[in-house]
Amino acid sequence: MAKKGQRRQDHLARQAQNEGYHARSVYKLEALDRKFRLLRGGVRTLDLGAAPGSWTQYALGHGATVVAVDLQELNLAGATCVTGDFTEAEMIKRITAAGPYDLVLSDAAPATSGNKVIDTGRSEALVESVLAGLPAWLVPGGGMVTKLFQGGGEQQLRQAAQAVFTSATLFRPQAVRSESFETYLVGIGYRGEE
């Protein structure tokens, strides 16, 4: 018999399909939005690691304009879709040229090896790339959400975010699969470069 957690996960996948979302991940962003009030009309949003597109769909549905970036090709009506690696110099320039942004989202997940130490390190490298891009991308007062695998340097990364945001919090939405070790680093009130 399926466990309670598993039944909830299946339910979320079905609900996403019924509601026309490309992935069940949308309910993670919904929970983050409820808690941190990220998307309140007209928010210029950068969605990194956007495929298959449910976060972009959610942001568009809440009045945002969205630049969606992924290694995989995306075709999402209403969004500006860019294919490429957001950690590479050329892509950073393209993303910067399409900005600035009020909100930077990253649900980017590294290709996993099955080795928790390696995978956590890869996830941290993606978060570091997001943090490094903020001075060029995010307006003062803006917000950030970035996926992060737990079990490594999440407290150090939270502190790095705390240095540039009014508040920096680790938050794990209920929709995260029980067996997953992902969480989200949320920064509110970007202070900009000082």
Ligand X SMILES: C[S@@+](CC[C@H](N)C(=O)[O-])C[C@H]1O[C@@H](n2cnc3c(N)ncnc32)[C@H](O)[C@@H]1O
Catalytic residues: 147
Q: In angstroms, give the least distance from the CB of 33 to ligand X.
A: 13
**Residue number of the CB atom closest to ligand X:** 49
Per-residue binder mask for ligand X (CB under 6 A), 109-138, x = binder = xx----------------------------
Q: Are 79 and 66 in contact (CB under 8 A)?
A: yes
- Applying CB under 6 A, which of residues 38, 46, 55, 176 lies at the interface with ligand X? 55
Give 10's Cβ-side CA count (13 Å radius): 6
Amino acid, single-letter form, for residue 139: V
Q: In angstroms, give the least distance from the CB of 50 to ligand X.
A: 6
The interface with ligand X within residues 25-54 (CB under 6 A) comprises: 25-26, 49-54
Q: CA 19, CA 87: separation in Å to the nearest integer?
A: 32
Stretch that binds ligand X, among 68-76, 95-103, 152-160, 170-178 (CB under 6 A): 68-76
Q: Are 189 and 168 in contact (CB under 8 A)?
A: no
By CB under 6 A, residue 173 contacts ligand X: no
Question: Measured in Å, how far apart are the chain's first and last C-alpha atoms?
Answer: 56
Q: In angstroms, give the least distance from the CB of 164 to ligand X.
A: 21
Q: In angstroms, give the least distance from the CB of 1 to ligand X.
A: 28
Question: Where do runs of H (alpha helix) occur along the chain?
Answer: 4-18, 26-36, 54-61, 89-97, 116-137, 154-162
The interface with ligand X within residues 76-95 (CB under 6 A) comprises: 85-87
Amino acid, single-letter form, for residue 65: T
